[in-house]
Amino acid sequence: MKIYFEAEKFLKHPEGNLQSKIFNDKSLKSNPKHIYALVYSTLQYKEYINQIITKSKINRQIKISDELLALLVHDLLFSSRGRIESGKHHIKDSFLKNKTRLQAELIKLKLKYKVKSVDQLPTIQQEDETPVRWFRINTIKIDPERFFKKHKLNLQPVNRFQDLTKPGLIYQDEHIPNLYGVHPKEKITTSTEAYKLGEIIIQDRGSCFPAFILNYKEPHSKIIDACAAPGNKTSHAATFVDEVVYAVERDSKRAAILKTMSEKATGKSRKKLIQVLNQDFTTIKPEDYEDVTGLIVDPSCSGSGIFGRAMDEETKNSDRLEKLASFQFSIMKHALSFNGARKVVYSTCSIHAEENERVVIDLLSDEEVKKQGWTLANRDLVLPNWERRGLEVEFEKISRDPNVIKELAGGCVRTLPKEDGGIGFFAACFVRE
Ligand code: SAM
């Protein structure tokens, strides 16, 4: 019963960031991953669990807290295992005496909502859940028209992602070609055939910005993706180039994942489109890649734009942000030293200015970078119709001219977590003649 006793307090006080509360609680004896999964799923089904508790009147039979009872009902009726995770315990014994009654109430509930299994019940959206499931049709493997016919996806189009209120609907993104949004409960997931065949890539909208911005108007023949694993931006970039994307990844385990993902995305016949290099990007010699004209730089960051991490105290730790920013600056500086490069897109999935606009400002103020001729691109080249740009207040630090400030902020794009339909993201585009 330990896991239930430990999960109970998080269910009692679910406010704030559940994930960080559980993972930062050093007093827990059970695996935090298991506790998180249990509390998260119980919260999702809470409304139904409460109905079953009320109807079965089990709360009058057994004297335990409402939260503990909800957790037990969850595991018996709403988990895939369908059992209580505990050795012999008197609470478990008295709870299971009501098993038949609880199961009968579940059958009535399924009839009421006209579903065959509990996972078809509409669930309450949790803080950590994406409001939209975005997927990109991988045009290296299949074109969108054939894709929809082949998989017999008969989904009703909607004009805005905010209208994806239930499964059965689809939104075609107006900014990124071949990108679609569906309800998170839609059966387009990593277990579908299309995903296994590499025909679709599940990729958040913001994460599709860099490869698109890099190749906007003038696609490149050779690109370097400097921090590539697991390879979402790499495989997206590969849809634009006609020769090769060099996908650089320092970590060997992640490089192996990158290789598998890349092979799936290109298939055997076009496998030369992506070349994985298990190397530290800063050790790659620019003179060996004179014909590379574009780079994507998506270095490790605090991840504060990702749900569940947005309010994480740890991501706001200023020492950590400073270290990350200086690492991000050094990776970018190396990218800007490639002689043949005329466009470099910098991105993070962070919402903190320290890792975003301030890194951009430090680069623009760097003497060597200035000498190399780099500037921020004009808004016309950087998703011009996307409304949310870089933070102007940050650029006030390097100019007093409102036009210059607006122009610099225009060379960057931001997405807000949830509000813009996905994770929080930042991208800036550096160009030179
Ligand atoms: N761009 C990836 C995507 O869209 O799937 C996500 C990249 S992730 C934010 C950052 C990656 O950069 C990590 O896999 C990390 O191991 C790698 N990395 C960090 N420092 C690096 C370096 N100096 N050289 C190459 N890769 C590096």
Q: What is the pLDDT of residue 130?
A: 77
Q: Give percent of the chain with pLDDT exceeding 90.
A: 73
CATH topology of domain 133-202: Alpha-Beta Plaits (3.30.70)
Q: What predicted TM-score, i.e. pTM, was given to this entire model?
A: 0.75
* 343 CA → ligand 1 middle, Å: 19
For the chain, what percentages of helix, strand and coil (3-state, to nearest 5) are there?
A: 45, 15, 40
Q: Please give the radius of gyration of the chain, using alpha carbons only, rounded to the nearest integer.
A: 25
Q: Whose alpha carbon is nearest atom 11 of ligand 1?
A: 227
Mutate to test the pocket of ligand 1, among 176, 236, 249 (most ligand atoms within 8 A of CB): 249
What positions carry a catalytic annotation? 349
* 243 CA → ligand 1 middle, Å: 22
Q: What is the pLDDT of residue 21?
A: 83
Q: What is the pLDDT of residue 201?
A: 95
Q: What is the pLDDT of residue 361?
A: 98
Q: Is the pLDDT of residue 310 over 50?
A: no
Place of tokens 């018996």: 76
Which CATH class, in words, describes the domain spanning 206-431?
alpha beta
Confidence of residue 33 (pLDDT cuts 50, 70, 90): confident
- Stretch 81-91: mean pLDDT: 90
Maximum pairwise Cα distance, the chain:
78
Q: Which amino acid appears at position 407 of this protein?
A: E
Q: What is the pLDDT of residue 240?
A: 97
Q: Whose alpha carbon is nearest atom 14 of ligand 1?
A: 229
Alpha carbon distance 359, 346 (integer Å): 10
Q: Is the pLDDT of residue 311 over 50?
A: no
Point out the least confidently predicted range of 22-26, 38-42, 81-85, 295-299. 22-26
Task: Find, among 294, 273, 288, 289, the residue nearest to 139 by Cα.
Answer: 273
- Which atom of ligand 1 is least distant from the CA of 225? 1
Q: Is the pLDDT of residue 173 over 90?
A: yes
Confidence of residue 147 (pLDDT cuts 50, 70, 90): very high
Q: What is the pLDDT of residue 53?
A: 93
- Which atom of ligand 1 is least distant from the CA of 303? 9
Q: Which amino acid appears at position 82 of this protein?
A: G
Using CA atoms, how far residue 305 sits from 20, 53, 92, 207, 310, in Å, is 14, 37, 41, 11, 5
* 229 CA → ligand 1 middle, Å: 6
Ligand 1 proximity of 249 Cβ (cutoff 6 Å): yes
Q: What is the pLDDT of residue 115?
A: 84
* 255 CA → ligand 1 middle, Å: 9
* 322 CA → ligand 1 middle, Å: 18
Give helix 66-73 / helix 2-12 axis angle, nearest 10°.
Answer: 120
Type and span of the H or E element at 404: helix 402-410
Task: Find, among 11, 12, 5, the residue nearest to 28 by Cα.
Answer: 5
Residue boundaries of the structural domains of the chain? 2-120, 133-202, 206-431
Type and span of the H or E element at 157: strand 156-158
Neighbours of 24 (CB within 10 A): 13
Q: What is the pLDDT of residue 72?
A: 95
Q: What is the pLDDT of residue 128?
A: 55
Ligand 1 proximity of 230 Cβ (cutoff 6 Å): yes
Residues 6+ apart with CB under 8 A from 412: 356, 357, 360, 376, 382, 389, 390, 426, 427, 428, 429
Ligand 1 proximity of 298 Cβ (cutoff 6 Å): yes
- Which atom of ligand 1 is least distant from the CA of 207? 4
Whether 181 and 165 have beta carbons less than 8 Å apart is answered as: no
Point out the least confidently predicted range of 36-50, 193-207, 255-269. 36-50
| Maximum mean pLDDT: which of 51-65, 108-122, 300-314, 338-352 | 338-352
Residue 170 pairs in a beta bridge with: 157, 182
Mutate to test the pocket of ligand 1, among 213, 258, 300, 356 (most ligand atoms within 8 A of CB): 300
For 373-419, write each residue's pLDDT tens digit: 999 999 999 999 999 999 999 999 999 999 999 999 999 999 998 88
